[in-house]
Amino acid sequence: MTTPLALVTGGSRGIGRAIVARLLQDGFEVVNFSRRPPESALPGERFQSVDLGDAAAAAAAATALAAARPVLHLVNNAGVIQVADIEAVTQDELARMVAVNLTAPLLLMQALLPGMRQAGYGRVVNSGSRAGLGKPGRTVYGATKSGLVGMTRTWALELGKAGITVNTVAPGPIATELFDQSNPPGDPRTVALEAAIPVGRIGRPE
C-alpha cells in the first residue's frame, strides 16, 4: 500500500511544525515547503526551501512535486503578518502578505488539483485567523485571511462533487514565534488579549 503524501507549507515552526508531526504520526509522508529548514527533520519528512512570496517559484515547486507523484493532501499553513495601524500600511507590505497568504495557496491548489481530480479524492485545509473577523493593526493580514475563507468556500462548492473537500481552520492565540512577533509579551494589548481567553492561557501548537 502506498504511503499517503501530504504537502504542508510553513511546516518548519509553530503550528506548521505540529501539523507535520501529527501527519507523520498518522502514517503520512510529508513534504514541507518553507523558506527555512526545521531545527531537526523528522523521519518521513522532506524539506524543500521555497519562497512562497515568489509566485513563479511556488508554482514551479508545486508543479514539479505533483508531476512526480499525485499529492492528495494539502495544508496551506504558511502566512506572514506585519502589524500596522491604517496610516502605516505600505504597498510593499500589502503585496508581500497577499503573495504569501492568498496567491500561494491558489497556485499550490492549481498545481495539485489535476491529480486530485484524477483520483476523485482530495483533502485541503487552509489556515485562517480570527484576525479575519477584525483586529486592530491587522488591516492587510485580516483582509488576506478573510479572502482565504472566501476562496475556501468557493473551492468547497466547486470541488465537492469531485470528491475534494476544502476547509479553513482559524486558530485563536497560539504560542508561536509569529504570535510573539505581533503580540509582544507585556504589551497592554497582549495582556488584555490573554485575560479575555476563557481557559486563561494561550494555546499550544500541538
Dist CA 103 CA 53 (whole Å)? 8
Query: 141 catalytic, yes or no?
Result: yes
The pLDDT value recorded for residue 21 is 97
The pLDDT value recorded for residue 206 is 66
The pLDDT value recorded for residue 132 is 78
Dist CA 39 CA 67 (whole Å)? 28
Query: What tens digit of pLDDT does each residue of 53-105 get?
Result: 999 999 999 999 999 999 999 999 999 998 889 899 999 999 999 999 999 99
Q: Could you tell me how far CA 174 lies from the centroid of its own chain?
A: 14
Residues making up the chain, counted from first to last: 206
The pLDDT value recorded for residue 135 is 79
The pLDDT value recorded for residue 195 is 64
The pLDDT value recorded for residue 19 is 97
The pLDDT value recorded for residue 196 is 65
Q: What is the largest CA-CA distance in the chain?
A: 56
Domains and CATH numbers, the chain: 5-173 (3.40.50.720)
The pLDDT value recorded for residue 179 is 66
Instruction: Assign residue 27 a region (left: φ > 0; alpha: ψ between -120 and 50; beta: otherwise).
Output: left
Active-site residue identified among 28, 33, 47, 141: 141
pTM, two decimal places: 0.87
User: DSSP character for 81?
Assistant: -
- CA distance from start to end of the chain: 28
The pLDDT value recorded for residue 190 is 66
The pLDDT value recorded for residue 198 is 74
Low-confidence ranges of the chain (pLDDT < 50): none
